[in-house]
Chain A
Amino acid sequence: MINKVVSGAEEAIKDISDGTTLMLGGFGLCGIPENCIQALVNKQVKNLTCISNNAGVDDFGIGLMLRQRQVKKMISSYVGENAEFERQLLSGELEVELIPQGTLATRCLAAGYGMPAIFTPAGVGTEVAEGKEVRNFDGKDYLMEYAFDADFAIVKAWKGDTAGNLIFRSTSRNFNPVMAMAGKITIAEVEELVEAGELDPDYIHTPGIYVHRIFQGRDYEKRIEQRTVRTKSL
């Protein structure tokens, strides 16, 4: 087996430089690559284009990079919950492309499947459609949306093996598998790194061919954005 293991986040992101286009997995703060984000913050690379469903919160996730003005452009579907983001956007310091969530996911999928574009009805007749090719199939209009072209994809998985195979846990799966497929170079940080052969091949979500670097992550905070509970009735 080809060994994909690197020592940690710092080594994994060593060649990410100013002006790079990055994909970052996660939905809200769920399933985000915490270690790599911290390493990017420490490295202080600038002018990044980040493709990520959300932009973190003020003091966690991609919000940490926004705070240091490391991000030139965000491509996301939903960016509420981040006051600093909203401020930079309204003041024009940050460029933002908002796209429908399904379009975001499927443009990742297309990249990972080797397809140049997809057709989706999402956004037809709205400002999202501006400048895009419209095609009619069976009486319904669809927008042509291109596959993403990202230099790096950074994902977080629950378990991974030395060959780069990944298993995600619960809804922290979200965008991670499709982004893992879409990066020219894909970096995976995992909660538990095991030897090749220890994971059942039938239960792999992302085959190692899509993963170029993998490392054992550490100190996961896994912050909860909306803690909602019910009380036990007696």
Chain B
Amino acid sequence: MAFSKEEIAKRIAKEIKDGYYVNLGIGIPTLVANYIPKGINVVLQSENGLLGMGPFPFEGEEDADLINAGKQTITTLPGSSIFDSAMSFGMIRAQKVDLTILGAMEVSENGDIANWKIPGKMVKGMGGAMDLVASAKNIIVAMQHINKAGESKLLPKCTLPLTGVKCIKKIVTELAVLDILPEGGFKLLERAPGVSIGFIQQSTAGRLIVEGEIPEMRLD
């Protein structure tokens, strides 16, 4: 069975290590915060200028001055710090942030990503995504493997305007966990429980590399 969004988030959360500073994008990545393994210390960065993002406030305690990059009301935690937008992207550019998790509309087999624009249709802008993908040393993309029309979003080449080139190394979808190899190609690492390699193959338009046994993804 293909994974739900929550299960994708849960699987990604397993990649987070003790002591990491992590930037979570909007969408599935935001859900990852709910599944950070117990017993490890992780600091969430919100690129509007906060390190140490806490949970949503209790009802009645919302503060209009305290939001995350998704414009949601949030809280701070003991040890949080606040800074301006230039410093926020300074620490991103200087690779102080250990892990970036973001969504994508398309990823290509050489690691290009498109997630900010559909020409003539959707004009929202890139926000901080171009800065993040250009600088982050460790990026995980959380995305749907196939779109609503059943077409693959893992492509030989992106068709939409790019957000960044050759920057993605790991993808988690509802069907699989994949690495993008330095020489190109999606290397299949894990599959969602009950999903066949044949179905993943059929759902991947770019070059899929399958070597040896492919274990099922585990969430515990």
Q: Which residues of A contact B (CB under 8 A)?
A: 27-31, 53, 76-81, 86, 89-90, 96, 98, 100-106, 108-109, 120-128, 158, 168-178, 205, 222-232
Contacts and interface: CB of A to CB of B under 8 A. Distances in A.
B128 to A, nearest CB: 4
Contacts of B127: 77-78, 100-101
Interface string B31-53: 00000000000000011111000
B165 to A, nearest CB: 4
Given A80-B125, A126-B130, A177-B84, A28 B161 contact: no
26 contacts: A30-B67, A53-B85, A79-B124, A80-B124, A80-B125, A98-B123, A100-B129, A106-B90, A121-B93, A123-B130, A124-B164, A125-B166, A126-B163, A128-B130, A171-B67, A171-B68, A172-B64, A174-B48, A174-B49, A176-B84, A226-B72, A226-B73, A227-B73, A228-B73, A229-B58, A229-B61
A23 to B, nearest CB: 12
Chain B contact patch, size range = 35 or more
B64 A223 contact: yes
Interface centre among A124, A170, A205, A230 (most CB of B within 10 A): A170
Interface string B49-93: 110000111111111111111111110100000111110111011
B67 A105 contact: no
Given A27-B48, A102-B88, A122-B134, 6 more contacts: A90-B120, A106-B89, A125-B166, A171-B46, A171-B66, A177-B84
Contacts of B6: none
Contact of B131 (A80, A122, A169, A177): A122
Interface of B: 46-50, 55-74, 76, 82-86, 88-90, 92-93, 112, 117, 120, 123-131, 134-135, 161-166
B66 A121 contact: no
A171 B49 contact: yes
Nearest to A28: B71
